[in-house]
Amino acid sequence: MSDVVLETRDLVKHFPLTRGIVFKKQYGAVQAVDGVNLQLRRGETLGIVGESGCGKSTLARLLVGLETPTSGDLFVQGKNMSNVGAEERRRGRRNIQLVMQDPYTSLNPRMTVGDIIGEPFEVHPDVLPKGKRRARVQELLDLVGLNPDHITRYPHQFSGGQRQRIGIARALALNPEIILCDEPVSALDVSIQAQVINLLEKLQKELGLSYIFIAHDLSVVRHIADRVAVMYLGKIIEIGTEDEIYDNPTHPYTQALLSAVPVPDPKLRGHRDQIVLTGDVPSPANPPSGCRFRTRCWKAQDICAEQVPLLEVRDSSGHPSACHFAEVRDVVHASE
Amino acid sequence: MSTDVNVKMEALAGVDPDALPLQVKDLHVEFRTRNGIAHAVNGVSFDLRAGETRAILGESGCGKSVTAQAIMGILDTPPGFITGGEILYRGVDLLKLPESERRKVRANRIAMIFQDALSALNPVFTVGFQLAELFRKHRGMSRQDAKARAVELLDLVKIPAAKQRVNDYPHQFSGGMRQRVMIAMALALDPEVLIADEPTTALDVTVQAQIMALLAELQRERNMGLVLITHDMGVVADVADRISVMYAGRVIEEAGVNDIYASPAHPYTKGLLESIPRLDLKGHELSAIKGLPPMLTNIPPGCAFNPRCGYAQEVCRKDPAPPLYQVSPSRTAACHFWKEVKGDE
Ligand SMILES: Nc1ncnc2c1ncn2[C@@H]1O[C@H](COP(=O)(O)OP(=O)(O)OP(=O)(O)O)[C@@H](O)[C@H]1O
Ligand SMILES: Nc1ncnc2c1ncn2[C@@H]1O[C@H](COP(=O)(O)OP(=O)(O)OP(=O)(O)O)[C@@H](O)[C@H]1O
Ligand code: SF4
Ligand code: SF4
Ligand SMILES: [Mg+2]
Ligand SMILES: [Mg+2]
């Protein structure tokens, strides 16, 4: 069996925009995810970065089956999820679990921690007989660094970082191979953020998990990811290994994004190659023709309005980039 | 300083034009709640010079916003009460002024911007009307002049097509644009001090970069003092001159920006620096600070950081809390063992 555990082909999600209450009439669509191809390999962490509204969460929801694609295919362990029977799809879904951003709203306040972590067994009762569930939940609490005796407590009795651990424990309940983290540490303080990142790394090593790690914090993604995909307005515009993206970015958007991240070292002040973009991100309901970044790109030419640049290797950098004029520019200046 | 400012200040008795635009001395704020007294601010002091950027850095709940609210006189009272300290504007203690005088200083000389621009702007009035109102109310301008000034201000904060956008409502602007509008409102009356409470936390990095560049430019032009409240150590490294690090309602370290990053003298500052992932360093170990910050209703005796501190000794668990030791002529740290902490860098 190949070592690709998850794959998408031309995955598309458009949300229809409708007018009228009784006779709904569609007048357009939000192109939230528009033709995404990616592969996740066993045991790796694929980071997905991009600014607010570029489609990261929609992509995550498609991958875990919370959203049905408008078109395109999703393969879990080589099986096309739209062609398999209901039972097989259920098993495929079980293998991918989601950890969400907000530890304050993603947990039901009226359920005990034990019920929250054990809830997946209600949906998939065949995984574990009822009598063994409590022990399993306590084992999971221990695994994520919480006190197993706190099984009867409620979410409000935990801090933000502890709640995120509860979310992780729930995601692990069914022994999935793939964990999808959608901004898992964005709502946490830096000192707590490091605790959760270290926990995710430890679990990956111990359980052989594959991660898709979505975040808008490029420093966090560099730390945790093996490969990185950069999204802009529903499309992946550059993808490569962590080194390729951070040290040799070739797409102007990636370069601008990286150059905007402040580095916690005052000695670098004024020495960074900062690209300040002008203008706002266009609406995904009405994206620009050709290259979607062209309205903010300082390198745009006529061809950029006419032809959609494909995500392919064009220059010596060796990794795919969706820019007609892809070329390496070092914007981060590695410190070590 | 412009003569304009001098003229306005004369109205206020005791103003010393040579004194600092803002000095906070030993500020104490508590919240009297049903679950007990939350000691949100426990003796915060800092100075701000004209043209200087002072960062107030610390994690959620450490008292950053409450400090700002106390300075601005917008503390939620009750349950919040200022129980001690001074807030000096050019030598005059705002806490001792009659309410009307105090309000005048705060409206004209000290302005504030917030993390969430949408909640700070009134949704039912156009942006132009809200800006113009400021000039009408505080400068007695005519409707027409005020409107013209509003357009100028939107232009100043680089809102494209300001003449048209002045008639738009807040919800018609993107997050970054709204933050620009709020900066315009804050700068309208030409303040000497701007307090920015997490001004870019809700924004994307590319937009954050635009807003920080704009703030820096306006600050330089006006020689305005900036108090930047943030938990982002990257932003601080990029713009701050001096830093006050807060923990559990106290300033636990105060120093120039280079000193803090090169050789932190408090274990908490050091822990923060070691726990952040960095864009320019790959694969370095993140050493998390163990445990959680204390409940403010129940701050541990001695040093508030002691349950999480790897350097803690018996003395750290006993009152009084460590004072701010003089680490060098220009920096202080509230740790009994600052020499060891700073030394083993
Ligand atoms: N159910 C929906 N109906 C209509 N539009 C939607 C829906 N869900 C998302 N969208 C739109 O799709 C686009 C992508 O949204 P998405 O939440 O995937 O972005 P994101 O990259 O996760 O952003 P953020 O960083 O803010 O979380 C946005 O323009 C959003 O408004
Ligand atoms: N209106 C209020 N009533 C009761 N307690 C309050 C109130 N406002 C603030 N507090 C308490 O004061 C403490 C300090 O809060 P503050 O908002 O200053 O934190 P902060 O440092 O700004 O944190 P953040 O980074 O999350 O904004 C908190 O523990 C908070 O619970
Ligand atoms: S294709 Fe053209 S507009 Fe798009 S990123 Fe490349 S140069 Fe810029
Ligand atoms: S005073 Fe003691 S507990 Fe507090 S920071 Fe210093 S060593 Fe740690
Ligand atoms: Mg999202
Ligand atoms: Mg705050």
- Does residue A294's CB lie within 6 angstroms of at least one atom of ligand 3? yes
Compute the distance between CA of residue B68 and CA of residue B110 in angstroms, rounded to an integer.
11
β-sheet with B36-48: strand ranges across = B36-48, B22-33, B80-89, B92-93
pLDDT value of residue B11 = 63
- Does residue B267's CB lie within 6 angstroms of at least one atom of ligand 4? yes
Q: What is the DSSP letter of A174?
A: T
Contact A285, A29 (CB under 8 A): yes
pLDDT value of residue B177 = 85
How many CA atoms, within 13 angstroms, populate the side-chain half-sphere of residue A222? 23
Encode burial over A91-103: b for 16+ CB neighbours within 10 A, e otherwise.
bbbbbbbbbbbbb
How many other CB atoms are found less than 10 A from the CB of residue A307?
Answer: 12
Checking if the pLDDT of B1 tops 70, the result is no
Q: Which of B59, B278, B308 to mutate to test the interface with A (most CBs of A within 10 A)?
A: B278
Nearest to B204 among A192, A216, A264 (CB): A216
User: Can you point out the beta strands (E) in chain B?
Assistant: 22-33, 36-48, 53-57, 80-89, 92-93, 110-113, 193-197, 225-230, 242-247, 250-256, 325-328, 331-333
Residue B216 structure tokens: 């820096």
Contact A96, A75 (CB under 8 A): no
Which range among A268-272, B249-253, B277-281 has the greatest average pLDDT? Answer: B249-253
Write down the residue that tokens 């993603």 correspond to: A106
Q: Where are the domains of chain A?
A: 4-252, 253-336
- B43 dihedral zone (left: phi>0; alpha: psi -120 to 50; beta): left
CA-closest candidate to residue A294, choices B27, A286, A303, A285: A303
Distance, CA of B333 to chain centre:
20
Residue closest via CA to ligand 2's atom 24 equals B60
- C-alpha radius of gyration, chain A, whole number: 21
Contact B128, B166 (CB under 8 A): yes
The three-state (H, E, C) secondary structure of B26-72, written as one string: EEEEEEEECCEEEEEEEEEEEEECCCCEEEEECCCCCCHHHHHHHHH
pLDDT tens-digit map of B127-182: 999 999 999 988 899 999 999 999 999 988 888 888 989 999 998 888 888 888 99
pTM score, whole prediction: 0.91
pLDDT value of residue A18 = 80
Nearest to B286 among A197, A263, A269 (CB): A197
Atom of ligand 3 nearest to the CA of A237: 5
pLDDT value of residue B48 = 98
Distance, CA of B63 to chain centre:
11
Q: Is the preceding omega at residue A264 within 30 degrees of 0, hence cis?
A: no
Residue B76 structure tokens: 């939620």
Contact B125, B134 (CB under 8 A): no
Any long-range contacts for A154-160 (C-beta under 8 Å, 24+ apart)? A154/A109, A154/A110, A154/A111, A154/A112, A154/A113, A155/A107, A155/A108, A155/A109, A155/A111, A155/A113, A155/A116, A156/A109, A158/A113, A159/A192, A159/B292, A160/A103, A160/A104, A160/A187, A160/A188, A160/A189, A160/A192, A160/B60
Checking if the pLDDT of B107 tops 90, the result is no
How many other CB atoms are found less than 10 A from the CB of residue A251?
Answer: 27
Q: Is the preceding omega at residue B78 within 30 degrees of 0, hence cis?
A: yes
What Å distances lie between residue B79 and A321, B31, B75, CA to CA? 55, 5, 9
Checking if the pLDDT of B47 tops 90, the result is yes
Of chain B, the percentage scoring pLDDT greater than 90 comes to 62
Residues with pLDDT less than 50, chain A: 1
What Å distances lie between residue B81 and B30, B39, B64, B72, CA to CA? 5, 10, 15, 13
Residue B222 structure tokens: 């006006």
Sign, Cα dihedral of B120, B231, B239, B28: positive
Encode burial over A212-240: b for 16+ CB neighbours within 10 A, e otherwise.
bbbbbbbbbbbbbbebbbbbbbbbbbbbb
Residue of A nearest to B287 (CA): A194
pLDDT value of residue B29 = 97
To the nearest whole Å, the CA of A57 is away from the closest chain B CA by 15
Nearest to A222 among B236, B258, B279 (CB): B279
CATH fold of A4-252 reads Rossmann fold (3.40.50)
Compute the distance between CA of residue A146 and CA of residue A196 in angstroms, rounded to an integer.
12
CA-angle at A126, arms to A121 and A127, nearest 5°: 60
How many CA atoms, within 13 angstroms, populate the side-chain half-sphere of residue A288? 22
Most distant CA pair in chain B, distance: 68
Measure A30 CA to ligand 1 centroid, in angstroms. Answer: 9
Q: What is the DSSP letter of B333?
A: E
Compute the distance between CA of residue A280 and CA of residue B339 in angstroms, rounded to an integer.
49
Tell me which of B2 and B123 has the higher pLDDT: B123
What Å distances lie between residue B164 and A271, B186, B292, CA to CA? 38, 21, 49
Range B54-74 average pLDDT: 93
Checking if the pLDDT of B4 tops 80, the result is no
Q: What is the DSSP string of A13-52?
A: EEEEEEE-SSS-EEEEEEEEEEEEEEEEETT-EEEEE--T
Residue A37 structure tokens: 């191809």
To the nearest whole Å, the CA of B159 is away from the closest chain A CA by 10
How many CA atoms, within 13 angstroms, populate the side-chain half-sphere of residue B277? 23
pLDDT value of residue A246 = 95
Compute the distance between CA of residue B213 and CA of residue B279 in angstroms, rounded to an integer.
20
Most distant CA pair in chain A, distance: 67
To the nearest whole Å, the CA of A77 is away from the closest chain B CA by 29
Residue closest via CA to ligand 4's atom 6 equals B335
pLDDT value of residue A98 = 92
Q: What is the DSSP letter of A118?
A: H
CA-closest candidate to residue A168, choices A184, A190, A187, A183: A184
pLDDT value of residue A9 = 97
Residue A175, phi then psi, degrees to nearest 5: 55, 50
pLDDT value of residue A334 = 64
Residue A323 structure tokens: 């820019």
Q: Which amino acid is at A27?
A: Y
How many helices (H) and strands (E) would you count in chain B? Answer: 13, 12
Q: Break chain A down into helix, strand, coil percent, rounded to 5.
A: 35, 20, 45
pLDDT value of residue B5 = 45
Strand partners, A150: none
pLDDT value of residue B283 = 67
Contact B277 A267 (CB under 8 A): no
Contact B163, B149 (CB under 8 A): no
Contact A274 B209 (CB under 8 A): yes
Measure B115 CA to ligand 6 centroid, in angstroms. Answer: 8
Contact A196, B286 (CB under 8 A): no
Range B219-236 average pLDDT: 94
Compute the distance between CA of residue A336 and CA of residue A265 in angstroms, rounded to an integer.
13
Of chain B, the percentage scoring pLDDT greater than 70 comes to 96
Question: 3-state class of B296 per DSSP?
Answer: coil
Range B8-23 average pLDDT: 80
pLDDT value of residue B318 = 95
Checking if the pLDDT of B345 tops 60, the result is no
